[in-house]
């Protein structure tokens, strides 16, 4: 559904994306993880036609993002981190504007708005100005707005940043529901447990290069099964082991205090992106 081949982006002297190649399957929930400045937003901007690529190719549902921009744009909806709603306008008006941009006829537009607000529990807020909504409701509105024209692919750039734990879980449930309806989801996040919980596959990107693509479980297993965190003076050093026994043996020889746990996706991320605390 998303095909990226040897994608490069250069801004002046900085080479921001370096030969990025990725294939996202139809109906998949795919997470794109990387440290600040790794190139995640740039990738989404290129795929959604907001920034031009420097070299390489990318297709959305078979449409080339540069050669068939309009058709490619129609395949996707996008939610950016910054909430870019018109806060003086109502929920209904914000959704209407998006429908108009995609030339949706009046009847279809109204029907889709009703369906979507119902889908996320915003029906009673249709005529409320966006400025009066909570952060969680605004986020839900940005997501359904991206779904107005029934895209096959939904791009979400840090969809839950700044939301509290319970609202984040509601957004997760919404994302699963959208995926269940057949939409392919491509998301970036700094909450690694979010990717571990939601995504079927994860790509790690570091300084513009894809360093690993696999299922969360496979990425975790590459690292090991068990971890020992040693509490050093001013940091924590983690060691990874295949078996509980090996971990215990190692721990018994240590003088520093330590804790024992399962390896998680964050361990894999830190070690593959070289951002390990040393």
Ligand X SMILES: Nc1ncnc2c1ncn2[C@@H]1O[C@H](COP(=O)(O)OP(=O)(O)OP(=O)(O)O)[C@@H](O)[C@H]1O
Q: If binding is defined by CB under 6 A, does position 11 make contact with ligand X?
A: yes
Tell me if 195 contacts ligand X by CB under 6 A: no
Question: What one-character DSSP code corresponds to residue 90?
Answer: B
Q: Is 151 helix (H, G, I), strand (E, B) or coil?
A: coil
End-to-end C-alpha distance for the chain, whole angstroms? 39
CA atoms within 13 A on the CB side of 180: 7
Instruction: Say how far apart CA 78 and CA 19 lie, in whole Å.
Output: 23
Min dist. Cβ of residue 173 to Mg ion (A): 24
CB of 181 to Mg ion, least distance (A): 26
If the CB atoms of residues 14 and 127 are measured against ligand X, the closer one turns out to be 14
Q: Based on the shown chain and the rule CB under 5 A, indicate whether residue 43 belongs to the binding site for Mg ion.
A: no
By a kind-dependent CB cut-off of 5 to 8 A, residue 42 interacts, out of Mg ion, ligand X, none, with ligand X
Residue 178 in tokens: 């959208």
According to CB under 6 A, which one of 39, 77, 151, 159 is a site residue for ligand X? 39
Smallest distance from the beta carbon of 187 to ligand X, in angstroms? Answer: 12
- Residue 223 vs residues 204, 243, 251, 271: alpha-carbon distances, Å: 14, 12, 18, 8
Pairwise CA distance, residues 147 & 167, whole Å = 20
- Tell me which stretch binds ligand X (CB under 6 A): 34-42, 56-64, 69-77, 262-270: 34-42
Main-chain phi, psi angles of 5, to 5 degrees: -125, 120
Residue 253 interacts with, from Mg ion, ligand X, none (CB under 5-8 Å by kind): none
Q: Which range in 36-44, 127-135, 169-177, 191-199 contacts ligand X by CB under 6 A?
A: 36-44
Residues 1-40 that bind Mg ion (CB under 5 A): 40
Residue 260 lies near ligand X (rule: CB under 6 A): no
- Residue 216 within binding range of ligand X, rule CB under 6 A: no
β-pair type (55-60, 29-33): unpaired
- 42 makes contact with ligand X (CB under 6 A): yes
Residue 168, binding choice from Mg ion, ligand X, none, Cβ under 5 to 8 Å by partner class: none
Instruction: Give CA torsion, residues 45, 46, 47, 48, to 10 deg.
Output: 50
- To ligand X, the closest distance from the beta carbon of 80 in angstroms equals 10
CB under 6 A: which stretch of 23-31, 32-40, 107-115, 193-201 binds ligand X? 32-40
Regarding 140 and contact with ligand X (CB under 6 A), the answer is no
**Can you say whether the dihedral through the CA atoms of 53, 184, 109, 177 is positive or negative?**
negative
Smallest gap from residue 277 Cβ to ligand X (A)? 18
Sheet hosting strand 2-11, strand order edge to edge: 14-24, 2-11, 55-60, 63-64
Cβ contact 227:262 at 8 Å: yes
> Which CB, 11 or 260, lies closer to ligand X?
11
Binding residues (CB under 6 A) for ligand X: these are: 11, 14, 16, 34, 36-42
């Amino acid at each position: 559904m998303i095909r990226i081949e040897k994608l490069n982006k250069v801004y002046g002297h900085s080479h921001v994306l370096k030969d990025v190649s990725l294939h996202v399957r139809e109906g998949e929930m795919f997470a794109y993880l990387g440290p600040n400045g790794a190139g995640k937003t740039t990738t989404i901007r290129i795929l959604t036609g907001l920034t031009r690529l420097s070299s390489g190719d990318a297709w959305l549902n078979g449409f080339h993002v540069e050669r068939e921009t309009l058709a490619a744009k129609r395949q996707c909806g996008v939610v950016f981190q910054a909430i870019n709603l018109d806060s003086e306008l109502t929920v209904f008006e914000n959704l209407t504007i998006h429908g108009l941009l995609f030339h949706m006829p009046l009847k279809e537009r109204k029907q889709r708005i009703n369906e979507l607000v119902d889908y996320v529990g915003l029906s009673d807020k249709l005529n409320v100005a966006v400025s009066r909504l909570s952060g969680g409701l605004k986020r839900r509105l940005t997501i359904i707005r991206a779904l107005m024209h029934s895209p096959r692919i939904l791009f979400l750039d840090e969809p839950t940043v700044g939301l509290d734990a319970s609202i984040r879980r509601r957004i997760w449930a919404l994302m699963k529901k959208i995926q269940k309806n057949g939409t392919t989801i491509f998301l970036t996040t700094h909450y690694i447990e979010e990717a571990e919980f939601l995504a079927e596959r994860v790509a790690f990107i570091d300084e513009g290069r894809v360093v690993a693509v696999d299922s969360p479980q496979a990425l975790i297993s590459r690292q090991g099964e068990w971890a020992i965190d040693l509490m050093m003076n001013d940091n924590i050093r983690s060691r990874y082991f295949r078996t509980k026994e090996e971990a215990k043996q190692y721990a018994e020889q240590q003088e520093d205090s330590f804790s024992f746990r399962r390896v998680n996706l964050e361990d894999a991320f830190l070690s593959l992106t070289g951002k390990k605390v040393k």
